Amino acid sequence: MSNEEINYRFLIDKRGNWFQDGIKIQHRLTYLYNNKLLKRDEEGNYYLDEGSGKLYIKAEDTPFVVKMVEKKDDDFYIILNDETKEKLDLNTLSINNENIPYAKVKNGEFDARFTRPAYYEFMKDLIREDDDFYIISNGEKHLLRRIT
């Protein structure tokens, strides 16, 4: 199904806020439930299914955002907009031409955009070498791939 054929009921803005039929979802449990149900179809379209069929979701950027970064020993953990915490997979890091970092989350199923506060916290450990950024963890150098 092409994007032109999809009737989007939901929108996720670049800050991770959900909207249904143009109205912001403010009820915390509904918001968390929707994040938990989020899936992708074979074409990469986001949807949720509450049992009555697929309800498609348009995302301005990524459906998940990194709200916080915590460093524990030599590992990094991220807290996402759905209030879950997971170990950051440093091998999935990338950075766009606006210097906004991204990472794969939820076992690599989704991309997550770093919020400004998370980015600033993460920048404390980033090393810049010419035009490249990398981070060292557990003795390994992890390059942030440039995406355009």
Cα(123)–Cα(13) distance, integer angstroms: 24
When pLDDT is cut at 50, 70 and 90, the band that residue 7 belongs to is confident
| pLDDT(4) > 70 | no
Q: What is the spatial distance between Cα 114 and Cα 140, in angstroms, rounded to a whole number?
A: 22
The predicted-structure confidence for 62-76, as pLDDT tens digits, reads as follows 999 999 999 998 899
Coil, strand or helix at 81: coil
Alpha-carbon 38 to chain mean position: 12
> Beta-strand (E) ranges in 23-139?
23-24, 39-40, 46-49, 54-59, 64-72, 75-80, 85-87, 94-95, 101-105, 110-114, 127-129, 132-137
Structural domains of the chain, ranges and CATH numbers in brackets: 3-59 (3.10.540.10), 64-146 (no CATH)
